[in-house]
Amino acid sequence: MKSASSLLIWSAAALGILVLPWHMQQDGLTLTGLVGVGQEDAEAASALWQAVAHRRFWFWPVIAALAVALPGALPSGNARARSAFLVWGGLLGLAAIVAQGLAIGVQGWSYPWLTEMFGELDDRQFGMGLGGTVAFFAFVLLLTDGLALRGYFRGDRFVSGAVGVLVASILLFTAWPVLTVLSQMFTPRGDLGVAAAFADRLVDRKIWGLACVTGNVNCGVFWNTLLLATSTATAATMLGLCFALIVTRTGFPMRRGLRLLTVLPIITPPFVIGLGLILIFGRSGVVNQIAEAVFGLQLGRWIYGFAGVFLAQVFSFTPTAFLVLIGVVEGISPTMEEASQTLRASRMRTFSAVTLPLMLPGLANAWLVVFVESLADFGNPIVLGGSFGVLSTEIFFAVVGAQQDFGRAAVLAAVMLVVALVAFIIQRAVVGTRSYVSLTGKGDVGLPTPLPRRIRILAFSIAIPWAVLTIVVYAMAMAGAFVRVWGRDWTPTLSHFQRAFALEWGPTGGLIFSGGAWHSLFTTIQLAAIAAPVTAGIGLLAAWVLTRQRFAGRTALEFALMLTFAVPGTVIGVAYILTFNIPPLEITGTAMILVICFVFRNLPVGVRSGVAAMSQLDKSLDEAAVTLRASTFRAIRTVVLPLLKPAIVTALVYSFVRAMTTVSAVIFLVSAQYEMATVFIINRVINGDYGLAIAYCAVLIVLMMSVIGLINLLVGSRRLGRRQAAPPALPAGGRA
């Protein structure tokens, strides 16, 4: 039997405090730089060496915490006493690290009251580095080990550690940044005090103004956003329902083709639709040109503004609503409809009195999903918005524009956050009541009732033209990559691709990636490839903890996790630059901040696919492993993971693909060194260089389609190979 000792973790903490350089190294870490003892330069030294040789007294509490935890980490002794040492050591260590990090910044004391208390400090410190990070997480694990030893989490160190790391990451990378943003609202401005500045920012006609009701002026961005999100959600839900009904309730021969539509939003960079619409309805778009040539009409630039953004969002999000509603329509038990028909109801009455009411909560859910997507959307409004501002674009311009007004960005972000959270809470309530949409899992016998004639005609007449239009928009968008100047010079050309992806043979014979897009493409792929396994790993771990473990605060953890997913990307982007631009975590401009952003933005994908797969897996399988002396980690590695392979692959693929197409948060975080593909494209769009932007989008789409196709092929063949072994995956209650 293994001894449950925390010595290994304690050693990690000791390594982080005594040996590794505490702070971030400007020029990167070298192998010799790893030893922070005896360093001349205080910044390159370990915490211990800084305290001893450089008189940085604020590291003594951290070192003291390490000493406190030691008796608890030794393998012998009374469990209660050991757990007390671990818990107190861990808590003290975390508190000491956080306190010293927040108290002392680049200009000495971070807060005036500290200066008053301790006098001027003629020292300063930069962002935390390897040593600090290792020490921080080691203290978290010492704390959770102590709690497990005390009997929390059923005494399971792995579970308590996993929960501890999850909680710490949520606090660090969501709660802290969001709170920082919110606190920015209260910074004084000019000669205004805290309250006055806050009031001035909040009561802003640019946010809340209603002038558009009476005059020909723009309303406040809040109303713009609300109007846009409401109309988009309504339209996309109606369209999505039409598609869902056609796919599940009619014999339409191209059903499979329609289902492919659901893949589109995943692989489409967020502004492809916008570009396609510009190429059709823009000033030099196809429709405008024809109208002018044939009828002599000047259609003008109506596409830039509400109409354009609305159209683009409906195109973009209808597939999302479709995807949600397929599940809803398929979830309605056919027996209900058959019962209704045997009770002498007509098809129409069955549809209106049984089918539709059963779908209502699902429809509400789809509506809210689209509402939130529209709210958080950045790509479409930035391309097509013109003077029609919404919250996400206003935040962007408040930060990057000439004004550089972080206070204003914070207020806008807070408004957006509140709207998103309200939608999220309503959605939870709605989905909670959905349980009566039969999810029994028992094979419901019976055939779904065919749609009433009138409904069928309606669905087809709405959905089919829209599907055709979607294809046209995509086709136009793609075609734009192959003509010289859309609308003026229709000469077919590959020059856009050449500018972006030119390859040359260097004089020495090596290949030179001389195209302008290579750099951002490689960076994107590289960072997405780093983020994907991390996302999948944390996501599955969270899913496992949430579905398989019962502990105090589980619901709270689940809620916190879901809540972080509801924070719009733009808010996260602003929050990250505000929070991580200064010590103690100074990671703006690094690749790390981008990876962290990807991970926490895409975590829901990992969690959701993990939860779905985990609920298919008999819980007693992992319990059996644990009673068979397997450590929890071994149980996961040898039993849960092998049975979850398809879910892992899904999580990997989707987090990779989404990392490549995301724009809202990363646009704030890119730097010259780490430029992302989407940001590169959007800058080309803003400069009017549509050809190159579209060419790049085309390459991205093809790249991602091939990744998804390849993975689907692999997963598909795997499932075939496992067929013989598959049935016992659900032995519960089954008689083999």
Partner 1 sequence: MTRKTGAEVRLEGIGKRYGQVQAVKPLDLVIEGGTLVTLLGPSGCGKTTLLRMIAGLEQATDGRLFIGGRDVTLLPAGERNVSMVFQSYALFPHMSVLDNVAYGLVSSGMRKRDAHAKAEAALETVGLKGFGTRLPSEMSGGQQQRVAVARALVLEPEVLLFDEPLSNLDARLRRSMREEIRALQQRLGLTVVYVTHDQSEALAVSDRIVVMRNAEIAQAGTPEELYTRPSSVFVATFMGEANRVPGTIESVTGGTAQVAIGGMRVGLPDRGLQPGPADVVIRPEAIRIMPADAPDTLPATVSRATYMGSHTEYLFATEVGELFAVGPQRLSRHREGEQVRLGLDLEGVVLVAP
Q: Beta strand 483-485 with 489-492: parallel, antiparallel or unpaired?
A: antiparallel
Residue written as token pair 């980690």 = 633
Structure tokens at 715: 């997963």
The phi, psi pair for 464, rounded to 5°, reads -65, -50
Among 256, 344, 442, 735, binds partner 1 (CB under 8 A): 735
Residue type, 266: I
Question: Shortest Cβ distance from residue 74 to partner 1 (Å)?
Answer: 18
**Distance of alpha carbon 4 from alpha carbon 213, whole angstroms:** 69
Q: H/E/C letters for each residue in 424-457? A: HHHHHHHHHHHHHCCCCCCCCCCCCCCCCHHHHH
The helix/strand/coil state of 23 is: strand
The helix/strand/coil state of 483 is: strand
Local structure of residue 129 (DSSP, 8 states): -
Question: Shortest Cβ distance from residue 343 to partner 1 (Å)?
Answer: 35
In this complex, which beta carbon is closest to partner 1, that of residue 123 or of residue 618?
618
Among 33, 61, 155, 646, binds partner 1 (CB under 8 A): 155
Among 156, 377, 586, 675, binds partner 1 (CB under 8 A): 156
| Residue 726 binds partner 1 (CB under 8 A) | yes
In this complex, which beta carbon is closest to partner 1, that of residue 2 or of residue 344?
2
Judged by CB under 8 A, the stretch of 69-77, 146-154, 233-241, 260-268 that binds partner 1 is 146-154
How many residues sit in the footprint of partner 1 (CB under 8 A)?
41
| Residue 373 binds partner 1 (CB under 8 A) | no
| Residue 729 binds partner 1 (CB under 8 A) | yes
In this complex, which beta carbon is closest to partner 1, that of residue 511 or of residue 736?
736
Judged by CB under 8 A, the stretch of 149-157, 510-518, 671-679, 689-697 that binds partner 1 is 149-157
Judged by CB under 8 A, the stretch of 33-41, 128-136, 144-152, 427-435 that binds partner 1 is 144-152
Asked whether the beta carbons of 650 and 611 are under 8 A apart, the reply is no
In this complex, which beta carbon is closest to partner 1, that of residue 148 or of residue 532?
148
| Residue 736 binds partner 1 (CB under 8 A) | yes
Judged by CB under 8 A, the stretch of 145-153, 362-370, 457-465, 497-505 that binds partner 1 is 145-153
**Distance of alpha carbon 316 from alpha carbon 293, whole angstroms:** 30
Asked whether the beta carbons of 389 and 221 are under 8 A apart, the reply is yes
In this complex, which beta carbon is closest to partner 1, that of residue 626 or of residue 711?
626
Cα angle 652, 655, 659; round to 5: 140
Total Cβ atoms within 10 A of residue 290: 12
Q: H/E/C letters for each residue in 634-667? A: HHHHHHHHHHCHHHHHHHHHHHHHHHHHCCCCHH
Judged by CB under 8 A, the stretch of 257-265, 430-438, 523-531, 723-731 that binds partner 1 is 723-731
Question: Shortest Cβ distance from residue 155 to partner 1 (Å)?
Answer: 4
Structure tokens at 179: 């709170």
In this complex, which beta carbon is closest to partner 1, that of residue 433 or of residue 638?
638
Asked whether the beta carbons of 583 and 126 are under 8 A apart, the reply is yes
The helix/strand/coil state of 298 is: coil
In this complex, which beta carbon is closest to partner 1, that of residue 119 or of residue 733?
733
Site string for partner 1, 50-89 (x = CB under 8 A): -----------------------------x----------
Question: Shortest Cβ distance from residue 68 to partner 1 (Å)?
Answer: 22
Question: Shortest Cβ distance from residue 434 to partner 1 (Å)?
Answer: 24
Asked whether the beta carbons of 196 and 190 are under 8 A apart, the reply is no
Asked whether the beta carbons of 731 and 620 are under 8 A apart, the reply is no
In this complex, which beta carbon is closest to partner 1, that of residue 163 or of residue 332?
163
| Residue 732 binds partner 1 (CB under 8 A) | yes
| Residue 649 binds partner 1 (CB under 8 A) | no
Cα angle 160, 162, 165; round to 5: 105
In this complex, which beta carbon is closest to partner 1, that of residue 55 or of residue 637?
637
Question: Shortest Cβ distance from residue 429 to partner 1 (Å)?
Answer: 22
Cis peptide before 731 (omega within 30 of 0): no
Among 188, 193, 716, 734, binds partner 1 (CB under 8 A): 734
Half-sphere exposure of 474 (CA within 13 A, CB side): 17
Contacts to partner 1 from residues 615-644, by CB under 8 A: 618, 620-621, 623-632, 634, 638-639, 642-643
**Distance of alpha carbon 124 from alpha carbon 106, whole angstroms:** 5
In this complex, which beta carbon is closest to partner 1, that of residue 409 or of residue 640?
640
Local structure of residue 590 (DSSP, 8 states): S
Judged by CB under 8 A, the stretch of 40-48, 448-456, 570-578, 719-727 that binds partner 1 is 719-727
Judged by CB under 8 A, the stretch of 361-369, 457-465, 651-659, 722-730 that binds partner 1 is 722-730
| Residue 441 binds partner 1 (CB under 8 A) | no
Question: Shortest Cβ distance from residue 623 to partner 1 (Å)?
Answer: 5
Half-sphere exposure of 513 (CA within 13 A, CB side): 9
Judged by CB under 8 A, the stretch of 153-161, 189-197, 396-404, 426-434 that binds partner 1 is 153-161
Question: Shortest Cβ distance from residue 334 to partner 1 (Å)?
Answer: 29
Question: Shortest Cβ distance from residue 639 to partner 1 (Å)?
Answer: 6
Among 63, 87, 96, 149, binds partner 1 (CB under 8 A): 149
| Residue 327 binds partner 1 (CB under 8 A) | no
Residue 105 contacts by C-beta under 8 Å, 6 or more apart in sequence?
124, 125, 582, 583, 584
In this complex, which beta carbon is closest to partner 1, that of residue 163 or of residue 677?
163
Cα angle 667, 670, 675; round to 5: 105
Question: Shortest Cβ distance from residue 734 to partner 1 (Å)?
Answer: 7
552 torsion bin: left (phi>0), alpha (psi -120 to 50), beta (else) = beta
**Distance of alpha carbon 131 from alpha carbon 33, whole angstroms:** 12
**Distance of alpha carbon 548 from alpha carbon 622, whole angstroms:** 9
Residues that bind partner 1 in the complex, under the rule CB under 8 A: 1-2, 4, 79, 149-151, 154-156, 618, 620-621, 623-632, 634, 638-639, 642-643, 722, 724-729, 731-736
